[in-house]
Structures are given as C-alpha cells and as structure tokens.
Chains A and B, each alone.
Chain A
Amino acid sequence: DAKTTQPNSMESNEEEPVHLPCNHSTISGTDYIHWYRQLPSQGPEYVIHGLTSNVNNRMASLAIAEDRKSSTLILHRATLRDAAVYYCILRPISGGYQKVTFGTGTKLQVIP
C-alpha cells in the first residue's frame, strides 16, 4: 500500500505564501491526491484534489510532481484562519476505500 509523509509542523507569516509538502513515493498511477484541513475544534474540510495535472481553486493550488512521487499544497497568502492541520490523502481508483492512505498531517502555524 502507498504511504505518505508530511512534516509535523510548519510556520508561516501572515499574508505570505505557504508551501506544504507531501511525499508519496510509493503512489500508484491511479491514486488521486486529496488535501483536507482541520481547523481547531472542527471537522476536517476539503481543500483540493488532483490526479496528474496541477490544480487551482479558490482556496489553494496543488502542484503535483511530474513523477507523482510528491505534491505540494500552496496557500497563496496565509491568513490567521488558515492555521490548521493539513492532511495529504491518497485515494486509489481500485480496491475500495479501505485502501485509502492518510498522512499524519502538518500543523500550520500562522504568525501575525
């Protein structure tokens, strides 16, 4: 099964860009890469997902390495509200949801 590795914690200054890395060197060719975040005392919320190409939405951008062994979630201008734990998740096309791989999460601290 695939594995994901994320740094335990990162810091960013407010209004600066943040790059959150995820290493998934054993990813299969059909695994989707999802990012969710969990704000303090809340349930997780969806951020972005992709398969091979880079993706942008109103919350963030997802940069996927050409070999797909790593990806980076980019928050373009961090705000205090972005302080959360960010999870990198691999969802395979086959094998069922029991094959999902969760990262341990990166706790992002945003400094005013």
Chain B
Amino acid sequence: DSGVTQTPKHLITATGQRVTLRCSPRSGDLSVYWYQQSLDQGLQFLIQYYNGEERAKGNILERFSAQQFPDLHSELNLSSLELGDSALYFCASSVGDTPRDIQYFGAGTRLSVL
C-alpha cells in the first residue's frame, strides 16, 4: 500500500459528460502529480501541485483542470469527455518538489467513456 488513495477505482460515463477524480496524498506529502496512461501506453504527465499551488504543467488538455485543496487532497476535473479520454489516471505524491524526491503512486482510476 503506497498510502496514496484514489477514488473512484472505476468510472463509466458518456461522451460530453464531466467527471471528477479524487486523490488523497500520503500523510505529510506536499506535492501531487496527475498522470494519464492510455491502453498499453506509457505515462503522460498532466499537472503538478505543490502545497496548494500549481507548480508544473504537462500535456494537459484545456478541457481538463485540477486543484489542490488546503488539506492537500487534489481533484482532477475532466469535462466535455471524448472517447479518446478513456484511460487510467494516476495520482502520485511526494514530500517535496526536488529531483531527488520519490513519488508514491495510487492504484489509479480507470475511466471509460462510451
């Protein structure tokens, strides 16, 4: 158990809809990262938050947004969903924001857009 909790585990929705994925980081971790992994593909970095503020932005679509709350949990909002958004979405957390920091990953949320 990594200590990172993601909910829900599975999500099935229709095109055009909006969903929210939730991530609770390990206790004491200030950084949260979101990743997308399409079928049999590698990890695609989406966005990072550190202590409530956006710290780095990767290949995140404009239809997607995220935030980190004062209790450090984070949410990833996906709107106007398309078939191609079907993927595994992982959240990871780390203590800080240095290149030495180890990331701990959650089990992921599997999103299916029908």
* Residues of A in contact with B (beta carbons under 8 Å apart): 30-32, 36, 42-46, 49, 87, 91-93, 96-98, 100, 102-105
Contacts and interface: CB of A to CB of B under 8 A. Distances in A.
B107 A42 contact: yes
Interface in B29-68: 33, 42-43, 45, 48, 55-58
Contacts of B105: 43-45
B103 A97 contact: no
Interface in B66-114: 90, 92, 97, 99-100, 102-108
Contact of A45 (B2, B55, B100): B2
23 contacts: A32-B99, A42-B107, A43-B4, A43-B90, A43-B92, A44-B92, A45-B104, A45-B105, A49-B100, A49-B102, A87-B43, A93-B99, A96-B55, A96-B56, A97-B45, A97-B56, A97-B97, A98-B48, A98-B56, A98-B58, A102-B42, A102-B45, A103-B42
Interface class of chain A by DSSP: loop
Nearest to A47: B102
Of B56, B57, B106, chain A has the most CB atoms within 10 Å of the CB of B56
A104 B103 CA distance: 18
Nearest to A97: B56
Contacts of A42: 107
Of A87, A96, A103, A105, chain B has the most CB atoms within 10 Å of the CB of A96
A91 B45 CA distance: 12
Contacts of B107: 42-43
B45 A100 contact: yes
Contact of B55 (A36, A92, A97, A102): A97
A105 B48 contact: no
Contacts of B55: 96-97
Nearest to A89: B43
Contacts of A93: 99
Contacts of B58: 97-98, 100
